[in-house]
Structure 1
Amino acid sequence: MLPWLSRLCVCVVALLLPVACVRAVAPPGAGDREALAQVEDWEDRRSLGDGQLVAWAGGERGTAVRIRALRALARIQDATTLEVILAGLAAAEPSVREEAAFASGELAFSWEPLPEALKARLTEALRAAEAKEQDEGVQRALLEAFSKLGTPGAIQRLIERLTEERGRAGRAALALGVSGRRGVSLAEVPLEPVKALLGAEQPVETRYGAAYLLVYVKRPEALAPLRHCLSDADPDVRALCAKGFGEGGGPEELAALARLLADPTPRVAAEAARTLSRWASACSTECAPLEALGTLRQEARRVASGASASAHAILAVAQQGLPRAGRPVLEALRRALAEAGPPVSETAADDVAWLDCRLAAAMDRQTGALAQVLSCGGGRISEERRWALGLRELAQAQGPEGAPSAVPGLSHPDARVRLAALDAVGARPVPEAVAPVRALLKGDDAVVAGMAAATVGKMKVLEALPEVHALAARVPQEPDLAEPVAGALVALEGKAAEPVLRGWLAHPHANVRRVATEALTGLTGQPVRSARVESPRGTRRPPTAPAGATLIFRTRKGDITVALDAAQAPLTSGNLHGLARQGYFRGVTFHRVVPDFVAQGGDPRGDGEGGPGYSIRCEMTRRAYRRGVIGMALAGKDTGGSQFFFTHAPQPHLDGRYTAFGEVTAGMEVVDALLEGDVILEVRTEP
């Protein structure tokens, strides 16, 4: 990262992704400090302060308070505040205009979508502001806002910027790609100017933006330039371009992807392996993609020698899965792990054992029945983890046979296994699962009961409606039940579920309201919106982390040092800092690792459904999700808790949605080496 000064703006610039300027503003006086504290309180309670917050966002208390008030509105996401946010786009101070542009994007990206009329108004205002904006920081923020808005007018303006000077063109390309990833049509995007942005003489940021657009434009004419960037000097560009061939390619692409399986950067090899695995899904017999994947036997030997990051290419294959014609590849990789010689350490032995089980589970997915996974791992992987892994794979099985093998898992004593079994029988229902699933609806574990509700909805078990309604009655006290219960109610009784769901529209938890609006919109065919509900005063708030605070995650593979962003995300940073001081993370695992995406941990249950027993609000920041950023995992608006993730590579589609609250400053090689099940020995805090 390189800092520089320009127009009183101090920027931290990543090599790949644009990040916002943190502009120098005059330090607040005593009166301002009091006002800023008041804004923070309103933001905590999701309150507009009887209109006072809106007035301050309009400039009533000066620049520093105005900027902070606009940030609060960005996080509250109340459609009635649109006009005061748009007024900020015309402010004299670039710092205010930039914050207003960010807030505009966040409002466009609300968890509850804006009505079409307001989207049109926002599009018009952003286009007018961008047409005359000269400040680079504000221009960046406006392009990002267009990507979150995704309307035809926003997309057209981004297209117009593809022929601007190279930095702006690269940022426009990235913004278009992010819109495409979110499902916006990019059919009108001309590709000739994009191809020019891939030249070796272009900055990495520009090349990355162009590649990102080509990946998500999903048009045949994008394949030739993507083939060219498979040999880019930057590993993140190479990995991105490898991802772009997920729908297929020809012999030249196959040869290039096969070479990338031996790339010195493991996340590049993982993307190549994932893409080739997708190609192999069409193979009914031995074929070239499967032959190429067979070369990963060398990576298996490296894992045994202690190179944990080399496991990611094999993990990508196992997670993606192979057709039955690929069974010899999975068997060969398991043999390579077994024949690599004694692992050099206990850690390497655990890596080998887990990869063996991952491959075994992929084999069971091919047949749709638990078999290989029941005896995998050489005794190093617990029976509970093996069952849970195998059952999750059954949910993705390729054939109908073997579904009854999931039923015994419904009565397993371990909650992780019961959840995985519910996933499996929900995907492939069998009559003998009905009784044990209904029994789980009445259990003490709310997570399992919620999943059981979702499962009886998928299975159309009408007799289970009384139990589902009993769970619905618990939603006011247990908000996490809302999503699975809403799905079950809609599936089992259709429009008759409306009264219950409408009762949730005024729930104090934002995510319950979001669930209700989505379900009711689907039921009625008309957009339904909830009202903003203020939290009461005295709502629990974690202490703020001290300035300059760091967390040191200790694992058997080494330490990961994270600098927390207490300035932009005091609540989220303070929450993790406080949990670490309590010893909360000791013995907790990284339960989810997706190569070239994230490593996620912090769940005491170990199944991705746990937390500290409370939730915190979102604090969307200007920090971009580049490689090595720590973010808060969510299940909806304001559902943060203890689960966090590290990014392996840039993830611009996460910007402005998941709170980014720090960055790895040492130990990124450890993040790259993490596998599912790796244990956090402890998290130390400094200071």
Structure 2
Amino acid sequence: MSRRCLVLAATSLVAACPAPGSSSRPGARDRAEDAPLRIRIAQAEARRAGGADELAELAGHGAKAERLLALRGLGRIGRTGGARPIALLIAALGDGDPDVVGAAASALGVAASLDDGDLGASDALVAALPRGGGAVVEALGRAGTAAVQPALVASLGDPRLAELAGLALGRHGRRRIALAEPSRQALIAQAAAGDPAARYAAVYALAREHEPPEHPATTAALVARLGDPVPEIRAQAIAGIGRRKAVAAARGAGARLDSLLLDRDWRVAAEAVRALTSGDDGKDAIAAAIVRRFDELERGEPAAAQVIVEGERALATAAQRPVIATALTSLAARAPGAQAIPALTRGWIECLAIAALQRARPDADLAAVERCGLPDPLRLPLVAELIAADVGPLAARRQTLARLLGHPEPRVRAAGLGALAALWKAGDAADHGNAVATLVAALGARDPIVASAAVDAAAPIYEAIDPTGEAPRPAGGAVGVPTHPARRSPVGSADHALLDAAVIARAQAERDPELGAALLELIGKRALVAGLDACRAALRGDPVRARAAAGCLTALGEAAPDIPPAIAAPPPVDISAVVGKVLRWRVTTTRGDIVIALHPDVAPWSVAAIVALTRKGFYDGLAFHRVVPDFVVQGGDPTESGAGGPGFALPAEPAALGDGAGYQAGGVGIADAGRDSGGSQWFIMHSRAPHLDGRYTWIGTVETGQKSADALLIGDRIVHAAIEEQR
């Protein structure tokens, strides 16, 4: 992830230029001259604990350029290198060179973000603030405790630091750190600032406040920004009103919230949809707005589909209301015949409308959704959602779910697994036996999509088996001694044993970070004492599984273990082929071309992987499997489910302040399931997301084609991807 010193043309948000301690991206001559150093640093970073000593030596005794890059590398290694990298970074905060102080602060922020923990650096960061400037302010948001908020409030009063301080307080909210009242009041004042960058940061922080109290002054500050000239500020303001459950209070203050559903910027409208779903009046307004948005779609505004689809999802359980039923019926009828609109868009609008209408009918017809205009992997999961919601006669649900579970497409089978718990609750002993047998088989499946879905489905099945009891919990430090007897029927006990054995067997063998971690978490949550060995073994695995293993062992009654330093092997890509090069990634999609400027000087391993995979044709034909309107569009998974990758993992390479634009609209990053678990999956931002900076690897920025990116829906595809090198 990266940072500031840019002008976001689409919103006129001018971010703060680098403060002391920020680095700058090299020019052409610098790129060529420092390529050997960057390659050396990257290779040491990738070895994690195995490269920490080399980076420590450079950070302490190298030339200045070596010191700055090595400090960034130590932050990326973080606690995977043991205690020494963090201690060295804290010590570097006392250096006499402001650039070194800033680099150390940025690195501490990255380390804290990657490992989501308190590094014990708050006091040292506050002491370094006069010398480290903006980099320290940013780090206080990522690595500081609640005790640093007075320092951040003071920084709000400095025009050079105001934006960074506001964003830092917003990150406190994301980290579940409550705002003190002086912090809240300072943000309220800054929300009316003349500088749009400072204003955005304040609204962002107020919108992201952790467990916000009812606070009329905050609500008033957010309402005042609903008419802001900067679309992303308007979007944050309505999102904040929704998150704070302050819609009624805002309406009471005279705010015209419904008009935001038709905002000229589709991203604002998408946030308004989410905010207004809490009440019947808001849902009726959404229904009216998405019908009008369909008119825009027919006039050639493809991003209007994001608002329509988000609106249909928001209304999925509300079609019993006449206004909503009328709107959905209209969309279901109009979409198939609107030939000027791409078929995928028509299919989503039609299918979501039909699914919502059927959900409201007492005599629901699941087959109506099975016939709508999307491909099986997109359409049939909607049917599974209806089964999970107990829609339709029980016999029809049984028959339909059996078809889904027997479907040749893994994504459909995975969706069917999510409906098993509902059928268990509604069904009889035969349904119970079939559900457990199906789940046990899926837990052993070779396909990661099916196995991942089985883990997700296991928790509600456990609860359905034993609705009145709880998992036995270790007591008094004695592993496996329940605090109370488990209240299970003989059938439930047998079913528990089957599931326990399947979960533990898969956990012992699983090496995928995300799937493995989910299994370990389930072992801990269900207090499966027989899984102790699986949790102990995973403690020395990849960082994602190791962290889950530590939580599992704690849940099973063992003392909180220290995760050992991790020595890793670099991924099988050639960073010398990209470092020092000027590279563009041209991604031709079903919505048009997107040209991305790649930044190998910031993320050499990730860019090298993108380049190597692209040149092999890996991305050609793959679908975008995740779209969250006004957030991201994500693709690059060969399974098109979110569960797949290239067969290797990438070291996390979050950027430092000054490395580049970061997660603004058009920012491009690597998706992961936790530190050092990224692969081939990547994403493009619809809007700014400061909380992603310093946590996710930022690899580039969209240069042209953002409108194409904004139009992408789940199921759109990469037609062809190519690397263009400037020579």
Amino acid at match of 2:57: A
TM score, norm. by length of structure 1: 0.87
C-alpha change, 1:262 and 1:640, in structure 2 (3 Å) is: same
C-alpha change, 1:257 and 1:448, in structure 2 (3 Å) is: same
Within 2, Cα distance between the matches of 1:482 and 1:155?
A: 37
1:479 positional shift = 4.3
1:681 positional shift = 0.8
Deviations 1:366-417 (A, max 9, x none): 6799846x43597531233211233246557799989756454233221101
CA contact (8 A) 1:368 1:403 kept: no
1:123 positional shift = 0.8
User: Within 5 Å, which residues of 2 pair with 1:245-644?
Assistant: 245-246=241-242, 247-250=245-248, 251=251, 256-277=256-277, 279-280=278-279, 283=280, 287=281, 289-291=283-285, 293-324=287-318, 327-338=321-332, 340=334, 345=339, 347-363=341-357, 371=365, 374-376=367-369, 380-392=373-385, 406=401, 408-426=403-421, 429-430=424-425, 431=432, 432-460=434-462, 461-476=496-511, 478-507=512-541, 509-524=542-557, 527-536=560-569, 540-543=572-575, 544-545=577-578, 547-622=581-656, 623=660, 624-644=662-682
Within 2, Cα distance between the matches of 1:400 and 1:155?
A: 56
User: Within 5 Å, which residues of 2 pair with 1:50-199?
Assistant: 51-58=53-60, 60-78=61-79, 79-111=83-115, 113-114=117-118, 118-119=119-120, 122-130=121-129, 132-133=130-131, 138-162=132-156, 164-199=157-192
Q: SS at the partner of 1:166?
A: coil
CA contact (8 A) 1:450 1:481 kept: yes
Look up the match of 1:205: 197
C-alpha change, 1:561 and 1:629, in structure 2 (3 Å) is: same
C-alpha change, 1:664 and 1:318, in structure 2 (3 Å) is: same
Look up the match of 1:231: 227
Q: SS at the partner of 1:554?
A: strand
Within 2, Cα distance between the matches of 1:22 and 1:357?
A: 49
Q: SS at the partner of 1:230?
A: coil
Within 2, Cα distance between the matches of 1:555 and 1:35?
A: 36
Deviations 1:430-458 (A, max 9, x none): 42422211222232213322432443344
1:593 positional shift = 0.9
C-alpha change, 1:128 and 1:598, in structure 2 (3 Å) is: same
1:43 positional shift = 1.0
- The yes-or-no answer on 1:666 pairing with 2:665 is no
Q: Which range moves more in the overlay, 301-310 or 677-686? A: 301-310
Within 1, Cα distance between the matches of 2:622 and 2:551?
A: 34
Look up the match of 1:243: 239
Deviations 1:570-602 (A, max 9, x none): 111121122112111111111111111111111
C-alpha change, 1:25 and 1:554, in structure 2 (3 Å) is: closer
Deviations 1:167-226 (A, max 9, x none): 423321221112112311114344443233233x61111110111122123332211111
Look up the match of 2:487: none
Within 2, Cα distance between the matches of 1:553 and 1:545?
A: 18
Amino acid at match of 1:380: G
C-alpha change, 1:662 and 1:54, in structure 2 (3 Å) is: same
Amino acid at match of 2:327: L
Q: Which range moves more in the overlay, 76-85 or 457-466? A: 457-466
Within 2, Cα distance between the matches of 1:366 and 1:88?
A: 62
TM score, norm. by length of structure 2: 0.83
Amino acid at match of 2:548: V
Q: SS at the partner of 1:473?
A: helix
Look up the match of 2:206: 214
CA contact (8 A) 2:284 2:324 kept: no
C-alpha change, 1:559 and 1:49, in structure 2 (3 Å) is: closer
Q: Which range moves more in the overlay, 445-454 or 646-655? A: 445-454
CA contact (8 A) 2:504 2:530 kept: no
Number of residues of Structure 1 aligned to a counterpart in Structure 2:
656
Deviations 1:31-62 (A, max 9, x none): 9876654332221111354733222222x122
Within 2, Cα distance between the matches of 1:140 and 1:520?
A: 40
**How much identity, in percent, do the aligned residues show?**
30
1:684 positional shift = 2.0
Deviations 1:612-643 (A, max 9, x none): 22221111113431111001111111111111
C-alpha change, 1:398 and 1:657, in structure 2 (3 Å) is: farther
C-alpha change, 1:424 and 1:148, in structure 2 (3 Å) is: farther
CA contact (8 A) 1:306 1:343 kept: no
1:94 positional shift = 2.8
Within 2, Cα distance between the matches of 1:70 and 1:397?
A: 55
Within 2, Cα distance between the matches of 1:124 and 1:524?
A: 33
- The yes-or-no answer on 1:645 pairing with 2:683 is yes
Within 2, Cα distance between the matches of 1:312 and 1:22?
A: 37
Within 1, Cα distance between the matches of 2:344 and 2:351?
A: 11
Within 1, Cα distance between the matches of 2:589 and 2:182?
A: 46
Deviations 1:231-252 (A, max 9, x none): 0000000011110121132335
Q: Which range moves more in the overlay, 311-320 or 485-494? A: 485-494
Deviations 1:457-476 (A, max 9, x none): 44223222332232123225
1:489 positional shift = 2.4
Look up the match of 1:6: none
Deviations 1:140-185 (A, max 9, x none): 21122111124122233223333x1334233212211121123111
Q: SS at the partner of 1:90?
A: coil
Within 1, Cα distance between the matches of 2:200 and 2:158?
A: 16
Within 2, Cα distance between the matches of 1:313 and 1:29?
A: 42
CA contact (8 A) 1:458 1:488 kept: no
Q: SS at the partner of 1:22?
A: coil
CA contact (8 A) 2:164 2:201 kept: yes
1:561 positional shift = 0.8
- The yes-or-no answer on 1:654 pairing with 2:692 is yes
1:260 positional shift = 1.1
CA contact (8 A) 1:615 1:638 kept: yes
Q: Which range moves more in the overlay, 443-452 or 582-591? A: 443-452
1:301 positional shift = 2.4
Within 1, Cα distance between the matches of 2:208 and 2:315?
A: 22
CA contact (8 A) 2:41 2:70 kept: yes
C-alpha change, 1:528 and 1:353, in structure 2 (3 Å) is: same
Which consecutive unaligned segments of at least 5 residues does structure 2 have? 426-431, 463-495
CA contact (8 A) 2:650 2:678 kept: yes
CA RMSD between the two structures: 3.2
Deviations 1:281-320 (A, max 9, x none): xx4xxx3542453232111222234322111222222333
Q: Which range moves more in the overlay, 88-97 or 560-569? A: 88-97
Q: SS at the partner of 2:587?
A: strand
1:81 positional shift = 1.9
